[in-house]
Structure 1
């Protein structure tokens, strides 16, 4: 079996990014961090997650993220499954982050999209069925 261990994001400011991700994932923590350089540019980095998966945050970002309404090559969004979407929305709202767009109406799942401080779109999805054929409908 293969599963996603981490995603590595280039951002501008680690504390600002952590404010978003700590609200979304209150059970995660900073696993470690350090300094280094990437192709001659110094940067700080942290791994924020749990024992099994994490988000790597690197603070050497020097430009805006891609236009999410455009068609440039790049990351469109990434998604996390939650068992309580309403609590994720509430925690992020308390931290100052509002839903960017609601997901499509579906009897077997609900989802919402947020934009993090560096312009990455993150989807949170709650499945309302344990049956894969219902969770993964494409109609």
Structure 2
């Protein structure tokens, strides 16, 4: 089996990132944290997730994230499959986070996009079918 275990993100404000992701995924916890050097520069790092998946945040970022409305090379978005999309949306909105864009209308899945405090676009998707041919279809 192959699966994605973690994504390592360079950010400016680790605490803001923790608040956003714990609002969306409240079962996530801080798995570990520390301070060290990265490429000759001090950094604070933190792993937030569960026993199987996590995000790594590093606070020594410089500059700004790519313009999501532009065509610059870089990360466009990443996605999490959730069991209850309405609850994720409600928790994020209660935390002061606005929907960045709604997902496409589809009878077999619902999705929505938010932008996290570091400027990364995050998709949350709920599948309404267990059949791969329905979940993974690309046209009606």
1:69, distance to aligned residue in structure 2 (A): 1.1
Residue in structure 1 matched with residue 44 of structure 2 by the alignment: 44
1:63, distance to aligned residue in structure 2 (A): 1.2
Unaligned ranges ≥5, structure 1? none
CA deviations on 1:114-134 (whole Å, 9 max, x unpaired) are 000010000000000010000
* Distance in 2 between residues matched to 1:45 and 1:88, nearest whole Å: 26
Residue in structure 2 matched with residue 27 of structure 1 by the alignment: 27
Residue in structure 2 matched with residue 108 of structure 1 by the alignment: 108
Residue in structure 1 matched with residue 65 of structure 2 by the alignment: 65
Q: Could you say what the CA RMSD is over the residues aligned between the two structures, in angstroms?
A: 0.6
Trace 1:1-139 onto structure 2 (pairs within 5 A): 1-139=1-139
SS at match of 1:18: helix
1:13, distance to aligned residue in structure 2 (A): 1.0
Aligned residues: 139
Unaligned ranges ≥5, structure 2? none
